[in-house]
Amino acid sequence: MTSVKKIVVLKGDYIGPEIMTAGLSVLDAATRNEAFSYELIDAPFGGDGIDRAGDPLPQSTIDVSKQADAVLLSAIGGPKWDNAPRRPEQGLLEIRSKLNLFANIRPTKVTQAQIDRSPLKPQYVENTDFVIVRELTSGAYFGKPRKLEAHQAIDTMYYSEEEVTRIMHQGFKMAQKRNKHVTIVDKSNVLATSKFWRKIANEVGKSYPDVTIDYYYVDAMTMAIMSKPATFDVVIIPNLFGDILSDEAAQITGSIGQIPSMSVGESGPNLYEPIHGSAPDIAGQGIANPISMVNTVAMMLTESFDEKKIADKITAAVDYIIENHYVTPDMGGKMTTDEVTQKMVDYIKKYE
């Protein structure tokens, strides 16, 4: 007998719940005739956490997430909570830390169908298929001291040997399953933490003789992401630089409304989320693009539950709506979130 998988649902803010609903409808359709059963556990988080439970990350949400098989998160934050004592983003940083999700994995892939949507000329972007492995629970995001005073402010970038070593192994292992090439990004001509990063990369790299390595300064890497993205395979990058460059990488696909991500730790559940924000400007209009959330659900099925076959149905439904141009306004279409979702659900039912 298969066990019932527990999926914690953090439904998000602004367009967050709109696309979460879409993602869950598609999950429901795709699993209907499958021997995969799951339970959805709603928990307050982000702005919704502040509204429903007084904090962006209530203790109960941490507890239930730790017990879960996967955590599914939609976009959070927005102006409503700008002056909250603890903002929604604070909850996001904390859940990463509390679940020890030290690696954030973001695929950057440009399919033939997407090529026209890229702001880059086709010859630059074609064949792009790399993965960013961003360190997620240390670096400038968590270093102490952090001080905001009347006349000065301080942040601390910090890395321990253990933190850098484990993210390197994560990245090198992924490379072994892919095209066996790793790119290390840092600013080691200036920063001590970056010199440290590069030194450990070099050491860890020796245990992976089948993987080739190159090194980029972060500034040069912003250029390379645009001028030769197809040359990368696995990019291992510190937290702050990873935040910046993974958005640049998303932009070259021209499809930020489509990209999922996952955050992983040594044990415990992974966390899955679309990479884009909560888009307060279009919330409530029913026109948010559900594709990112649907792809996030597919990523969860593959990576946490090894349900590649179910994930493939979902991916096929996404391809189908894109090919037939059943898409929301951000992709040049005229459909609502619900209409697009219904098209995917119908496709999956027919496909079976």
- Give residues in contact with ligand IPM (CB under 6 A): 89, 92, 189-190, 219, 243
330 is catalytic: no
Q: Which of the listed partners (ligand IPM, a second copy, none) does 198 bind, with a CB threshold of 5 to 8 Å by partner kind?
A: none
Q: How far apart are CA 194 and CA 199, in angstroms?
A: 8
- Packing angle of the helix pair 88-98, 46-53 (nearest 10 deg): 100
Q: How far apart are CA 214 and CA 80, in angstroms?
A: 44
219 is catalytic: yes
Looking only at residues 60 through 89 of this chain, which bind a second copy when binding is defined by CB under 8 A?
Answer: 77, 87, 89
Among the options 63, 214, 219, 281, which is catalytic? 219
Cβ pair 279, 18 in contact under 8 A: no
Strand partners for 132: 106, 235
Least distance in angstroms from the C-beta of 89 to a second copy = 5
Least distance in angstroms from the C-beta of 104 to a second copy = 12
Q: What is the DSSP letter of 239?
A: H
Q: Under the criterion CB under 8 A, does residue 247 sit at the interface with a second copy?
A: yes
Least distance in angstroms from the C-beta of 214 to a second copy = 13
Pick between residue 40 and residue 192 the one whose CB is nearest to a second copy.
Answer: 192
Q: How far apart are CA 145 and CA 156, in angstroms?
A: 6
Give the interface segment with a second copy, choosing from 24-32, 40-48, 58-66, 187-195 (CB under 8 A): 187-195
CA 37, 38, 39, 42 torsion: positive or negative? negative
247 is catalytic: yes
116 is catalytic: no
Residue of 295, 291, 303 lying closest to 337 (CA atoms): 291
199 is catalytic: no
Six-digit token pair at 308?
């590649």
Cβ pair 108, 253 in contact under 8 A: yes
Q: Under the criterion CB under 8 A, does residue 160 sit at the interface with a second copy?
A: yes
Among the options 129, 243, 312, 330, which is catalytic? 243
Looking only at residues 118 through 147 of this chain, which bind a second copy when binding is defined by CB under 8 A?
Answer: 119-121, 124, 140-141, 143, 146-147
